[in-house]
């Protein structure tokens, strides 16, 4: 059996930047074990698998190298990028995923891919877990939480950029991951409203380069703090990525560029 695989760098217009995702489209679902094995072999933040139904909706699932992920933004962007390239006549794509329902994706005139996600605004945490405090070298100013992660607020960009982490401590927060974030204030980040980094030792690895799903929580959090619903975010990982965010009631619209890195084939011996 041969499977076409596309590798796409998401939330960037430059190859080797943003966050890489693999995209595989099949007529029917592969077994869970096989999808997990492919994701492990790819060793990317996520591998997305898609199956088209008879109503024109693509059912999508996302796997990190370690586990299936309930919701992944950058691999959704990568998947839409592949579908738009394969089907230039498409003006809208609908994805279906168990955790987030139907997602509507369009391509804007400037070439960005725009994704309509649920608003997952986090709530403030009064009793901060000991593992979170022990897992970060810089104490939080405030901590928030949603169903995906703890959101650690810092006052200074230098804290976000230099904070060290103890992955063994952070693993104890599973199934939740950790976001560190602050308002963008310096000249180096003058084009952005806020910056962040994302740590996920419990679910995917060390640090995720760009995390679209986290911005469905980050965007409404900073929209409230900054008094604006249109925001530009920068995820300050080694690769870096830019996300345009619009908070619209119970939805968060996230847009970004993507660029093709690779097209190839996986050969799997059928038992």
| Catalytic annotation, residues | 46
Does residue 150 contact residue 173 with C-beta atoms inside 8 Å? Answer: yes
Omega prior to 240 cis, within 30 of 0: no
Measured in degrees and rounded to the nearest 5, phi and psi for residue 66 equal -110, -30
Rg, Å, the chain Cα set: 18
Instruction: Tell me the longest C-alpha to C-alpha distance in the chain.
Output: 58
Using DSSP bridges, classify how beta strands 149-153 and 142-145 pair: parallel, antiparallel or unpaired.
antiparallel
Angle of CA points 234, 237, 243, to nearest 5°: 25
Sequence-distant (6+) residues with CB within 8 A of 127 are none
Q: Say how far apart CA 31 and CA 24 lie, in whole Å.
A: 13
Q: Say how far apart CA 71 and CA 214 lie, in whole Å.
A: 10
């Amino acid at each position: 059996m041969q499977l076409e695989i596309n590798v796409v760098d998401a939330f960037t217009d430059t190859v080797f930047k943003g966050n890489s995702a693999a995209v595989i489209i099949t007529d029917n679902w592969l077994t869970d074990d096989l999808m997990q094995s492919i994701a492990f072999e790819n060793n990317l933040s996520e591998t997305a698998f898609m199956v088209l139904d008879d109503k024109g909706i693509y059912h999508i699932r996302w796997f990190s190298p370690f586990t299936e992920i309930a919701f992944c933004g950058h691999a959704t962007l990568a998947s839409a990028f592949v579908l738009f390239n394969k089907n230039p006549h498409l003006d809208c794509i609908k994805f279906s995923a168990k955790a987030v329902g139907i997602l509507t994706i369009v391509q804007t005139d400037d070439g960005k891919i725009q994704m309509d996600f649920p608003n997952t605004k986090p709530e403030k945490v009064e009793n901060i877990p000991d593992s979170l405090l022990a897992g970060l070298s810089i104490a939080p100013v405030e901590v928030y939480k949603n169903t995906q992660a703890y959101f650690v607020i810092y006052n200074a960009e230098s804290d976000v950029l230099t904070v060290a982490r103890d992955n063994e401590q952070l693993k104890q927060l599973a199934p939740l991951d950790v976001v560190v974030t602050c308002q963008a204030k310096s000249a180096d980040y003058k084009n952005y409203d806020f910056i962040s980094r994302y740590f996920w030792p419990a679910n995917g690895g060390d640090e995720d380069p760009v995390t679209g799903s986290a911005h469905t929580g980050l965007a409404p959090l900073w929209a409230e703090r900054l008094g604006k619903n249109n925001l530009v975010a920068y995820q300050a990982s080694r690769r870096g990525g830019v996300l345009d965010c619009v908070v619209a009631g119970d939805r968060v619209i996230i847009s970004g560029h993507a660029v093709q890195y690779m097209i190839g084939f996986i050969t799997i011996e059928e038992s």
